[in-house]
Amino acid sequence: MQVLKNDRLLRALFRQPVDKTPIWIMRQAGRYLPEYRATRARAGSFMDLCRTPELACEVTLQPLERFPLDAAILFSDILTIPDAMGLGLYFTEGEGPRFERVVQSARDIDALARPDPEIELRYVMDAVRVIRQSLDGRVPLIGFSGSPWTLATYMVEGRGSREFAKIKAMLYDSPELLHRLLSVLASTVSNYLNAQIRAGAQAVMIFDTWGGILTSSAYREFSLGYMQRIIDSLMREHEDRKVPVIMFTKGGGQWLETMAEIGCDALGLDWTVDIDDARRRVGDRVALQGNMDPAVLYAGPDRIRTEAARIVAAHGGDGHVFNLGHGIHPQIDPEHVAVLVDAVHNAPRQ
């Protein structure tokens, strides 16, 4: 087994003692870094960057060269799965991801490919392997996937949405059809994450970006239930080491108690939740990850330090991984990220 020089993240996710609060940042390899923009330009397109393991490794490691972060996260995209299922993912400048084909009927669901992670998504697994080798035990590597519900929103809408009219119409008018799609996706995501673990991911995260748009009953039925299926089917040990699972529902603060019961090791929090209240509500059942408003990084260094210290103190101890409440904004000054990482590592934890 490869020796892990910094296991602070894994220890925190298992609510074990750590010397300081670990930190990583959602979208830490991304457009706020000039070196990322240079690599992206060399790649030619975002998907070419994702599909070239050596370049995906390069951008995964870029933030670690700048900042003493406690984890690397695989550079990829949650929509690689629906793309591999045959929907034809493409990106339009300024408008985000789109699909050439959408899912509207039982026939469309039956026509979906069931991708083999080591064939149709081999480029992701190869990226995991290359990154692990390049990290050489420096920090753990996090793998990830979108949740079935979040993937389904893009597959039914064909793009990002504000109203989610098509998928909500399916939910209310044809719930059995939506369950059929979500069941296929749950199986596919499980296979995908297990393949990432076998390839070398040392923790995995499920991004439920759009779970928060649902009613409470719909969230439990159409989002949480399928994430539980995935968690129940994941490898929880590999390379003689336990593999923690982080679950993040953006806008899901009202369901923390329920989320803490489904078997994940940690819950991600967005910035709309007070972390001390979240800690009180879930007790010691799970670790917590989060949850600074990404917009704080537009402020000056003193305010960044104050806010970081407030969140670390509010959590109050072990079982906390510091992160933003969602992805870092592309306009953020990298120097402000350096201030944040230093502030978290030096913040009093009690």
Q: Where are the beta strands (DSSP E) in 237-322?
A: 237-238, 241-242, 245-249, 266-268, 287-289, 320-321
Do the annotations mark residue 52 as ligand-binding?
no
**Residue carrying structure tokens 């984890």:** 71
Do the annotations mark residue 31 as ligand-binding?
yes
HSE-up of 10 (CA within 13 Å, CB side)? 21
Handedness of CA 199, 35, 97, 145 (dihedral sign): positive
Q: Note the maximum CA span of the chain.
A: 57
Do the annotations mark residue 28 as ligand-binding?
yes
Instruction: List the Cα angle 318/324/326 in 5-degree steps.
Output: 130
Element (H, E) at 40: helix 34-43
Residue 158 neighbours by CB distance under 10 Å = 17
Do the annotations mark residue 94 as ligand-binding?
no
Do the annotations mark residue 298 as ligand-binding?
no
Do the annotations mark residue 51 as ligand-binding?
no
Catalytic residues: 27, 31, 40, 77, 154
Element (H, E) at 53: helix 53-66
Do the annotations mark residue 303 as ligand-binding?
no
The dihedrals phi and psi of 207, each to the nearest 5 degrees, come to -95, 110
Which residue ranges are tagged as binding site? 27-31, 77, 154, 209, 326
Q: Give binding residues for substrate as ranges.
A: 27-31, 77, 154, 209, 326
